[in-house]
Structure formats: structure tokens, C-alpha cells
Amino acid sequence: MTTLKSLLLGTALACLVGCGNEPTSPAPSLHLDTLIVNGKVYDGSGRPPQALAVGISADRIAFVGDHRSVKLQADRVIDASGLMVTPGFIDPHTHALGDLLSSERHLNTNYLTQAVTTVIVGNDGEGAYQVEHLAQRLTKNGIGSNVGFLVGHGAVRIDVMGRDNRKPTAQEQKAMEDRVDQAMREGALGLSSGLYYSPGNYADTDEVVALAKVAARYGGLYESHIRDESSYTVGFLPALEEAITIGAEAKIPVHLAHIKALGVDVWGQSEQAVTMIEQARGNGQQITADQYPWRASGTHLRNALVPLWMLADSFEKYQQRLRDPKLAAELNAAIAENIRRRGGPESLLLVTGNDPSFVNKTLAAIAAEQNITPVAAALMVLKTGKARVISFNMNATDIERFMRQDWVVTSSDGNDRHPRKYASFPKKFVAYVGEDKLMSVASFVHRSSGLTADIFGIDQRGYITPGYYADIAVIDPAQYAPQADYRHWDRLSTGVRFLLVNGVLAIDEGKTQAVFGGRPLLKKP
Ligand SMILES: [Zn+2]
């Protein structure tokens, strides 16, 4: 294997430096499984595209160069005339684990059709610490894409102390650190947190710093859905400051999840946020972010509108508090304020719920229909149990300012009922990439593959380089487009002609194949 790999590497590199110009000793004949010719190759580094052929042998890229100058044989030749050849994209923020563990959706088709070959799971503080066990289950189940893991502060906290709204004892703190340690030894890429959510919100900065130090020992990163993206509690900029502080104190790279200025109170603060991040980067800290290209976020209605102290302990306790007359005045005031913060009752679109008569209606429409106030309408829906909303709370200036930064990569934060799960990468390509837009195609590709692999420490992926794993997309730029929208959230995107995951053709001539080429990506310390 080593001999074959170095032979292939040697040939490819020789070709890259002197194809066709200098007399070289007769090239050895290479046998490839797949050879992609005539495409425009974006190698993931951000460099302009080159007209090169890409050859694949087993699960690796075996050749990159001018195929006419080397003796090549391939079982399958793909003509990529007029098409882009890119590394498979990497989505650093998903909620895809449930799908990958399921028996119906483990092909991860909604990501493959966006040209995504690797998804990260465990974001927002949600990742379980038993990484090895999870990897084994996924391997047994079969998965269509690769998957990398983050261990979640929230998950670890729930495991040790439930949803208690208090500081951990020294013993509990140690128990949380031990779990993060186990996850990192078993191959997690880093620690995630969701300090906005229950129970992440109940933690102080020091608690998180101590856990981040454990992840830092193994070369992991700290990924965070920050404490406040809006004006709910500490405010957007102080929450950002906290994430930067955690990075400085734990000496760990910081990655900001789905960066945004959420709600009317903080619109425009992207400017100060960018300045703060640039400053920290200037001081030598590694700070990066990801972003999804949509004006609306998506979450549970309770996370959007209910104050966090209401959500402590358990779902049942929370449902009791909703009905407690002693809490009604305080709760009503908080909900009214949160509706205003998010842009008013017209900005909140119910997309799931136990009562189907509320689904696909805005809070304003439900209130009008029932002839009640928007606060009463919200309470009525909350009392029926779990419900999700699409929340139109971002403005175009902030979205574009974040997107222009070269430390911001593409993500989906994909969840059911929001089109971002099906269409984030092509949506960004169509809306923000190309001439006269916010970035070049080469930069888009770099910030959807190579840079993301660098940030998350994903080895030998994200670039089209000889010896690297063969995660490769062949994309028709004229057809690469979202088909999903807010009303039709689960339409598959179009334009990916071919997709290889570890050398396995997952999309062939635009058709998704029933093959499971994906692997758990464990980072070995
Ligand atoms: Zn999040």
C-alpha cells in the first residue's frame, strides 16, 4: 500500500511541476478506478481553477495532472467538460445524527445533493461523549456521508447533573471533565457548547473554560452557539467576548456557530463583532465562524419565546410552570418582549406542532384567527407541547458583512422544516458567489471544504491533492441551485452530477445511488 501510494504520489507531483515540457523518464502505467477529465479543478485551497484530470484509486486521490502525459488506464472515465471539480464539501454544523442512525435517512441524501460529503454532528452542546460507541453504531448502520463528532457541554452536563440550574460541585465538575476526556481520546474533534440553551445557560464561563482545557490537551477546538446572539440576556457582543475569553484562557481555537445578529435590537452589530474578532485574531488567537445563508433561523418555539429559568429541571416541570397562575404576569411580559425582539408576530412562522391547525401560520395569523393577542396565541401553542418556528430575524447587511470575512465558512445548521437542511450550500452559491457578488467561486469552494477541514482538524480531506481521500464533487455550475424554500423545505437541491465519498460513487449522472461510502472520522490523539 505504501509503495503504491508513493508511486502514485511521485507521478502526480512530477506531472504537476513539469507536464509535457521537460523530457521525463517513461511514466509508469497507472491503473485507476475512476478518472475525471476535462473539468475545471478547484483544489480547495482558494487558488483559481485549473484544467486538470483527477484520478481515483480505491478510496484515495491517486493522480492530479495532465492525463495525456501519463499512461493511465481507468475503469470509469467521467467527462467533466463545462463542470467544476471540487473537494466534497464539509458542513461544520448539522443536526444530522438522528438521520444517520435511522433506517430510512442514513444515506444523508439531502447533504449529498448539496455536494456535502462530510457532516459534523454534536453541535450546540448536544454531542454525546461515547464517541467510539456512536462510530460503531454508524458503521454498522451504513452511512452515505462521512461524519465527525463534537462532544457537547450540554450533553455532558445533563449526564452528570440533569437540568439543574446551579453551579456544579467540584466532584460534578471533575465528572464532566472525565467525560470530555473520554470523548477526545475516542476521536472527537472538539468540545461544543450551546450556552444559549438549557442547560448550557446555567453554566458560568469558568465551568466551560475547564472543559475546553481538556479538549485543548488533545488538539481539539471549542465550537459554540454563544450565550446570546440577540438581546435576551447578556447581549450579542458580550456573549462573543465570552467565547473569545474561553479561547484565550483555555488556549484553544474558537469556532463560532452560525454567526448572526439575531433580532432588531442588535441589527448592525455585525460591524463591532467583526472588529472584535479581527482584533483577537490579530493577537494570535484562532477565531473562525460558520454561517448559513438564510434570513430566518429555526428553533423550538419555547427556545425563541420562553425565558430560560422556565425550562429548568424537565419538560414536565416547564409545562407545569406554563400553567402556574403565580408566574403568569412575569411570563406574559417576557413572551411579549421576545416576540418584539424577534421582529413581531408576523416574523414567527409555526412549522410543526402537536396541533396541526397552527402549522404553516404565523403567530400573527393564529392570533387574528382566534381573536386573541399574539402573547395569548403563543401561550396556547406552547401549552400543546413541542412546536418549531421559522423566525425571520436577520437583516441583509449583517448577513453580507459576516459572509465577506475570509474566516467565515459555509454551514447549514440543518433541521427538519427549514430549507437550510436541504439547500444551504447551493443557496449561497446562487445568491452570493460569482462576479459582482461577495466572493469568487474559488473562495466559496475553499470556505466550504479546505478551510473547514483545517479549522476542524479533519485529516487528508477538503483538498484535491494526491494521497488524500477521494471525497470529490463534479458540479454543473448552471444547474447547482436550491429547490427548497420556506414553504417546501425538503426539496433536494440540483446540479451535482457526480459525487464520490471515499472513492465510492454516491451520485452518478445526477442520480443518488443506494451506496454507503461514508465513514466516521475519528481524530486519533
Ligand atoms: Zn445552534
DSSP symbols for 9-42: HHHHHHHHHHTTTS--PPPPPEEEEEEEEEEEE-
What integer pLDDT is reported at residue 59 of this predicted model? 98
Distance 296 CA to ligand 1 centre (A): 13
Average pLDDT over residues 146-175: 98
Is pLDDT of 251 > 50?
A: yes
Could you say which DSSP state residue 229 is in?
A: S
Please answer whether residues 141 and 97 qualify as being in contact, where contact means their C-beta atoms are separated by less than 8 angstroms: no
Look at residues 503, 497, 498, 496 and name the one whose alpha carbon lies nearest to residue 518: 503
Distance 11 CA to ligand 1 centre (A): 45
Distance 226 CA to ligand 1 centre (A): 8
Pairing between strand 30-41 and 50-57? Answer: antiparallel
Distance 229 CA to ligand 1 centre (A): 10
Could you say which DSSP state residue 439 is in?
A: B
Distance 460 CA to ligand 1 centre (A): 27
Distance 155 CA to ligand 1 centre (A): 14
Distance 258 CA to ligand 1 centre (A): 7
Distance 68 CA to ligand 1 centre (A): 48
pLDDT-above-90 percentage for the chain: 92
Distance 196 CA to ligand 1 centre (A): 8
User: Which parts of 295-363 are beta strand (E)?
Assistant: 296-300, 348-353
What integer pLDDT is reported at residue 397 of this predicted model? 97
In the beta sheet, which residues pair with residue 473? 86, 499
What integer pLDDT is reported at residue 14 of this predicted model? 35
Average pLDDT over residues 180-193: 98
Is pLDDT of 20 > 80?
A: no
The pTM of this model reads 0.92
Ordered alpha helix ranges (H), 384-510: 396-404, 420-432, 441-446, 450-456
What integer pLDDT is reported at residue 393 of this predicted model? 94
Is pLDDT of 125 > 90?
A: yes
Lowest mean pLDDT among 60-74, 155-169, 192-206, 490-504: 60-74
What integer pLDDT is reported at residue 18 of this predicted model? 35
Average pLDDT over residues 455-463: 98
Query: Is 266 or 436 the better-scoring residue by pLDDT?
Result: 266
Distance 124 CA to ligand 1 centre (A): 5
Helix axes 236-250, 270-282, angle to 10 degrees: 10
Beta-carbon neighbour count of residue 141 at 10 Å?
13
Distance 289 CA to ligand 1 centre (A): 12
Give the chain's count of helices (H) and strands (E): 18, 21
Q: What are the backbone angles phi and psi of residue 262, rounded to the nearest 5°?
A: -95, 110
Distance 118 CA to ligand 1 centre (A): 18
Is pLDDT of 369 > 60?
A: yes
Q: Which long-range contacts (CB under 8 A, 24 or more apart) does 231-237 make?
A: 231/263, 231/265, 231/266, 231/341, 232/196, 232/338, 232/341, 233/201, 233/308, 235/266, 236/261, 236/262, 236/266, 236/269, 236/273, 237/269, 237/272, 237/273, 237/276
The model's confidence at residue 468, banded by pLDDT at 50, 70 and 90, is very high
- Rounded to whole angstroms, how far apart are CA atoms 357 and 398? 34
The model's confidence at residue 447, banded by pLDDT at 50, 70 and 90, is very high
Is pLDDT of 17 > 80?
A: no
Distance 269 CA to ligand 1 centre (A): 19
Is pLDDT of 434 > 90?
A: no
Contacts of 103 (CB under 8 A, 6+ apart): 141
To which H or E segment does residue 248 belong?
helix 236-250
Is pLDDT of 255 > 70?
A: yes
Distance 105 CA to ligand 1 centre (A): 22
3-state secondary structure of 256: strand
Is pLDDT of 4 > 80?
A: no
Average pLDDT over residues 184-211: 97
Lowest mean pLDDT among 15-24, 169-178, 383-392: 15-24
The model's confidence at residue 26, banded by pLDDT at 50, 70 and 90, is low
Distance 418 CA to ligand 1 centre (A): 14
Please answer whether residues 429 and 480 qualify as being in contact, where contact means their C-beta atoms are separated by less than 8 angstroms: yes
Average pLDDT over residues 230-258: 97
Distance 79 CA to ligand 1 centre (A): 40
The model's confidence at residue 449, banded by pLDDT at 50, 70 and 90, is very high
Distance 248 CA to ligand 1 centre (A): 22
Distance 72 CA to ligand 1 centre (A): 47
What burial class does residue 289 get, using C-beta atoms within 10 Å of its C-beta: 0-12 exposed, 13-18 middle, 19+ buried?
A: buried
Distance 57 CA to ligand 1 centre (A): 38
CA atoms within 13 A on the CB side of 491: 12
- Taking only the tens place, the pLDDT of each residue in 101-120 is 999 999 999 999 999 999 99
- Taking only the tens place, the pLDDT of each residue in 314-363 is 999 999 999 999 999 999 999 999 999 999 999 999 999 999 999 999 99
- Rounded to whole angstroms, how far apart are CA atoms 328 and 516? 51
- Rounded to whole angstroms, how far apart are CA atoms 62 and 31? 10
3-state secondary structure of 509: coil
Look at residues 212, 229, 347 and name the one whose alpha carbon lies nearest to residue 285: 212
3-state secondary structure of 359: coil
In the beta sheet, which residues pair with residue 472? 87, 500
The model's confidence at residue 487, banded by pLDDT at 50, 70 and 90, is confident
Q: What are the backbone angles phi and psi of residue 50, rounded to the nearest 5°?
A: -130, 150
Contacts of 58 (CB under 8 A, 6+ apart): 33, 503
Distance 525 CA to ligand 1 centre (A): 27
Look at residues 270, 249, 272, 250 and name the one whose alpha carbon lies nearest to residue 260: 270
Mean pLDDT estimate for the chain = 94
Distance 348 CA to ligand 1 centre (A): 18
What integer pLDDT is reported at residue 16 of this predicted model? 40
In SS3 terms, 82-105 reads as: CCEEEECEEECCECCHHHHHCCCC
Is pLDDT of 181 > 60?
A: yes
Distance 365 CA to ligand 1 centre (A): 27
pLDDT-above-70 percentage for the chain: 95
What integer pLDDT is reported at residue 383 of this predicted model? 96
Is pLDDT of 85 > 50?
A: yes
Distance 198 CA to ligand 1 centre (A): 12
Distance 90 CA to ligand 1 centre (A): 17
Distance 215 CA to ligand 1 centre (A): 20
Distance 194 CA to ligand 1 centre (A): 7
The model's confidence at residue 241, banded by pLDDT at 50, 70 and 90, is very high
Place of cell 466550504: 448
Give the rounded distance of the alpha carbon of 23 from its chain centre: 47
